[in-house]
DNA sequence: TAGTGGTCTAGACCACTAG
DNA sequence: TAGTGGTCTAGACCACTAC
């Protein structure tokens, strides 16, 4: 039986309840959820309804399901972070693992643009990282990462020098990045960028303006990357 | 009952059979498919199995389902083509419909690069289009489109001046574009491009190298677009 | 009112994993 | 062998559409 007051389908309600528990930390990253029948009994619905909820969560990379083993909270390993969110690939389509070199970082008041992108009120404090990323030891991009410092406190102390951040956000703060959107454009390298990347000023760079959202729907991070695409290209698929 | 010789799940077999019928033209674009029970009886499976096949086809934009109405072959209207495959949006995220001006077109022997991209043997004939696309009457990009002329014969006679091609491929040839992949990079405008787009040579342009595949898995088209991103940006989402 | 897809249930059996 | 998710079925009822 279910209450007729709630308009959404049952499976959507179950899905929301599971997300709620994930946010509360009921199950940690990598941990197994109870099996379908246990969840079904728990929520007072049939196993098929739980299945539909879990299938949707699996499709959104929030849980991972293995036949014969169980359903697990998706873990943002460095490999997964890179494979999923880092879209620069070699000319032949192959992927390489980037290295990171931190150039600068610290806390400061958010700029108006950052407030807009991070959905912050004027004057809020943010933590920023400026870093150089290389592929096969060749400088590939410079980027500025800005995070809401209330969402990820002490990142400046604990995260220094990290290469992949999304897995750190999850393991350290329980913040799971589940979606990002990007605006791409072609720009000319500034003098500073040209110096870092080893090209002449004005060299065409691919600018990636990315916002990343967490499981709770709040914006976690904004980053602006300026990439050399002489050796590597940005790959995407549309279906 | 089902034959135990086939390893794939039943719903996947049903899905493949439906795709086969779509390729044969059993149901035309925009037409309704038989309802779930009719298809189930037809294929000798249960309605739930047909549903799973149709749900996957709907997710891949191959069919469209409306509660109370039926399941229809997805129609590549100009609007859908643009909304789905044309990724340039205004700075504020809003979409505009581009206009097209054909600069050149014709038949010729494919270049080695085109043979590679279109999976053609050396010396094959292709049809090409070179056109300028504008947004709100402002030149936005120049692109070269190359198609396999055996897959889309007489496109040069019948398609002259068209703005959106994917819906034409479908309505004229029954070729449905279902997937594309793109490689993006930042490049410097050539003299010719600069002239057409109204900028100075060397101006940064976003290059989009796109291949598009049909329902049968064959490559339909390759295009290389070089876009001004001063006013517009390329938008994409990662989940 | 009849026909469609959408949801929900209950139960059977299969395929894979692990001790 | 026991436990998990994956597939498949059968049937009930709901929500929406069109006449």
Instruction: From B176, B169, B166, select the one nearest B61 (Cα to Cα).
Output: B176
What are the C-alpha distances in Å from A78 to residues A162, A170, B93, B222? 10, 11, 31, 34
Torsions phi, psi for B130 (to 5 deg): -120, 125
Name the 3-class secondary structure at A11. helix
Compute the Cα dihedral for B136, B138, B140, B144 and give only its sign: positive
State the Cα–Cα distance between residues A69 and A78, nearest whole angstrom.
23
Minimum CA–CA partner of B234 in chain A: A184
B141 and B197 both lie in a single domain: yes
Nearest nt (C1') to A66 (CA)?
D5
pLDDT at A83: 87
Domain end, chosen from B54, B73, B92, is at: B73
Does residue B2 carry a pLDDT above 80?
no
Residues of B in contact with A48 (CB under 8 A): none
Interface of B with A in 49-68 (CB under 8 A): 60-61
Query: What's B27's domain CATH number?
Result: 1.10.10.10
Instruction: Give the structural domain span for B51.
Output: 10-73
pLDDT at B7: 81
Does residue B5 carry a pLDDT above 70?
no
SS (H, E, C) chain B: CCCCCCCCCHHHHHHHHHHHHHHHCCCCCCCECCCHHHHHHHHCCCHHHHHHHHHHHHHCCCEEEECCCEEEECCCCHHHHHHHHCCEEECCCCCCCEEEEEEEEEEEECCHHHHHHHCCCCCCEEEEEEEEEEECCEEEEEEEEEEECCCCCCHHHHCCCCCCCHHHHHHHHCCCEEEEEEEEEEEECCHHHHHHHCCCCCCEEEEEEEEEEECCCCEEEEEEEEECCCCEEEEEEEC
State the Cα–Cα distance between residues B235 and B229, nearest whole angstrom.
11
Q: Average pLDDT for residues B23-33, to the nearest whole number?
A: 96
Closest residue by C-alpha to C1' distance, nucleotide D7: B9
Query: What's A159's domain CATH number?
Result: 3.40.1410.10
Question: Is residue A83 assigned to a domain?
Answer: no
A121 and A222 both lie in a single domain: yes
A153 and A229 both lie in a single domain: yes
Question: Is residue B2 assigned to a domain?
Answer: no
**What confidence category does residue B43 fall into, taking pLDDT thresholds of 50, 70 and 90?**
very high
* In chain B, % of residues over pLDDT 70: 97
Q: What is the DSSP letter of A141?
A: E
Decide if B24 touches A, using CB distance below 8 A.
Answer: no
A115 and A166 both lie in a single domain: yes
Decide if B144 touches A, using CB distance below 8 A.
Answer: no
Residues of A in contact with B9 (CB under 8 A): none
Q: Please answer yes or no on whether A186 and B181 come within 8 Å at the CB atom.
A: no
Question: Is residue B1 assigned to a domain?
Answer: no
Q: Give, for A8, the enclosing helix (H) or strand (E).
A: none
Positions in chain A whose pLDDT score sits under 50:
1-5
pLDDT at B160: 87
A63 and A153 both lie in a single domain: no
Nearest nt (C1') to B34 (CA)?
C4
Residue B71 approaches strand D within 7 Å at CB: no
A96 and A66 both lie in a single domain: no
**What confidence category does residue B80 fall into, taking pLDDT thresholds of 50, 70 and 90?**
confident
Question: Is residue B239 assigned to a domain?
Answer: no
A111 and A64 both lie in a single domain: no
Maximum Cα–Cα distance across chain A? 69
Residue B51 approaches strand C within 7 Å at CB: yes
> How far is residue A149 CA from its own chain's centroid?
16
Question: Is residue A2 assigned to a domain?
Answer: no
* Mean pLDDT of chain B, nearest integer: 94
Nearest nt (C1') to B67 (CA)?
C5
Q: Please answer yes or no on whether A235 and B84 come within 8 Å at the CB atom.
A: no
Question: Is residue B3 assigned to a domain?
Answer: no
> Do B132 and B141 touch, CB atoms closer than 8 A?
yes
Closest residue by C-alpha to C1' distance, nucleotide D9: B46
Q: Give the HSE-up count for residue A87: Cα atoms under 13 Å, Cβ half-sphere.
A: 26
Compute the Cα dihedral for A221, A227, A231, A232 and give only its sign: positive
Question: Is residue A4 assigned to a domain?
Answer: no
Question: Is residue A16 assigned to a domain?
Answer: yes
């Amino acid at each position: 039986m279910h209450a007729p007051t709630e308009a959404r389908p049952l499976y959507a309600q179950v899905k929301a309840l599971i997300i709620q528990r994930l946010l509360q930390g009921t199950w940690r990253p990598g941990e197994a959820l109870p099996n379908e029948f246990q969840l079904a009994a728990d929520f007072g619905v049939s196993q098929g309804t739980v299945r539909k909820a879990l299938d949707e969560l699996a499709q959104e990379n929030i849980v991972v399901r293995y036949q014969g083993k169980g359903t697990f909270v998706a873990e943002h390993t460095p490999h997964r972070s890179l494979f999923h969110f880092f879209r620069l690939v070699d000319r032949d389509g192959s992927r390489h693992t980037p290295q990171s070199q931190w150039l600068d970082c610290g806390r400061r008041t958010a700029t108006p643009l950052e407030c807009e992108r991070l959905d912050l009120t004027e004057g809020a404090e943010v933590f920023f990282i400026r870093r150089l990323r290389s592929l096969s030891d060749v400088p590939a991009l410079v980027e500025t990462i800005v995070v809401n410092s209330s969402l990820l406190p002490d990142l400046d102390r604990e995260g220094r020098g990290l290469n992949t951040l999304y897995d750190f956000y999850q393991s350290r703060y329980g913040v799971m990045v589940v979606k990002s959107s990007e605006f791409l454009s072609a720009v000319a390298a500034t003098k500073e960028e040209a110096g870092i990347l080893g090209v002449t000023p004005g060299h065409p760079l691919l600018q990636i303006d990315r916002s990343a959202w967490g499981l709770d729907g709040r914006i976690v991070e904004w980053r602006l990357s300026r990439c050399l695409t002489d050796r590597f290209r940005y790959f995407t698929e549309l279906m």
